[in-house]
Structure 1
C-alpha cells in the first residue's frame, strides 16, 4: 500500500488539479456571460448578404423559368420529384415548428436543447430532399440543376432568417 508521504503527495496533486479546474470553471463563466451578451444583442437580419441571396433566388426563378418547368416539363422524374417534395415538406414543417411555435409562441430560443432530435431530423430530411430533387430535375437543367436548387435554397433560408 501507500505510505504517508506518498498519500500526502497524491493529495497535494489532487488539490492542485482541483484548483486548476476551479480556475478554468470561473473563466468559463465569463465566456458564458459573453455568450449571453451576444444573444442579447441580435445581429442585423437585413444586410447585403441576405439581400444578395434573395435577389439571386428571384433572378434564378425568373431566368430559368422555374415554375413553368416544374409544372409542365415532361422530363422530370416523377417518383424522385414526389419523394423530394415530401421530404422538403417535412423539413420545412420542422423549421416552421421551431420558428413559429417554439420561438414566437413559446419563447424558446434554444430549441435544440429542449428538442434535441429536431435539428438532425430536419437536416437529414433536407439532404435527402436535395438529392431527390437533383435526381428528378437533372433531365431539365442538366449540370445547372445543383446551382439552381442551391440558389433557391439560399433564398428561402435568407427569407426565413429575416422572418425568424
Structure 2
C-alpha cells in the first residue's frame, strides 16, 4: 500500500493533469464555438420538415374526410370531445395572444423587457398546456376511436404536427 506522502504526491499529480486537461478542453471548445458562431446562419423559417407535416396534415384531413366525420358522426363520445376542444381552445388562444397581438400588432420582439411578468406566466402556461395537450390528445383519441379505430392516434398525431408546424411558421 501507499504511505501518506506517496498518496499525496499521486493526488497532486492527478490534480495537475486534470487542470491541464480542463484548460486545453475549454480553450478548444471556445475556439470551436467562436468558429461555429461565425459560420452559423439563421435557420430558414420554411423548411422541408415543416412543409412535410403541413402537407401530410392537409392530406389526412382530405383523405379521411375529417371535418365531415367530426360534425356528422354520431359515434363520437361528446363529453371527451368537448373537453378536448376546450383544452385546444385554451392552448391556441395563448399562442395567438403572443404571436398575433404582442408580436404583430404591438411589434414587441423581446417580451421579457417590455412585460416582465410574461416569462413566469408563459412558463406556467407551457406546463399547463403540456399537461392539457396530453389530456387533449387522450380525450380526442377516446372520443374518435369509434370512428377510425386503431388509425385514430396516427390521424390525430399528423393533424397535431401540421398545426404545430403551421403555428411555427407564423411566429
TM-score (norm 2): 0.69
Q: Deviations over 1:86-128 (max 9, x none)?
A: 33344445555675659x73437xxxxx666665554333222
* 1:107 partnered with 2:114: no
Name the structure, 1 or 2, with higher relative contact order (CA <8 Å, separation 6+). Answer: 2
In structure 2, what is the Cα distance between the partners aligned to 1:26 and 1:92? 45
Tell whether the 8 Å contact from 1:91 to 1:123 is kept in structure 2 after alignment.
no
Unaligned runs of 5+ in 1: 109-113
Q: Spell out the pairing of 1:3-152 with structure 2 (5 A cutoff).
A: 3=5, 6-33=7-34, 36-37=37-38, 41-93=41-93, 95=95, 105-107=108-110, 121-152=128-159
Q: C-alpha displacement at 1:151, in angstroms?
A: 1.8
Which stretch of the first structure deviates more once superposed, 147-156 or 82-91? 82-91
Structure-2 change in CA distance of 1:119 and 1:17 (3 Å): farther
CA displacement 1:15-54 (0-9 Å, x = unmatched): 221121222222333454356457x522223233332322
Q: Which 5+ residue runs of structure 2 have no aligned equivalent?
A: 112-118
CA distance in 2, matches of 1:41, 1:132: 41
What secondary structure is seen at the aligned counterpart in 1 of 2:4? coil
- Please tell me the root mean square deviation across aligned C-alpha atoms, in Å: 3.3
Deviation at 1:77, TM superposition (A): 0.9
Alignment-derived partner of residue 111 in structure 1: none
1:7 deviates by 3.1
Encode CA deviations 1:44-71: one digit per residue, 9 max, x unaligned: 2323333232222222223322223223
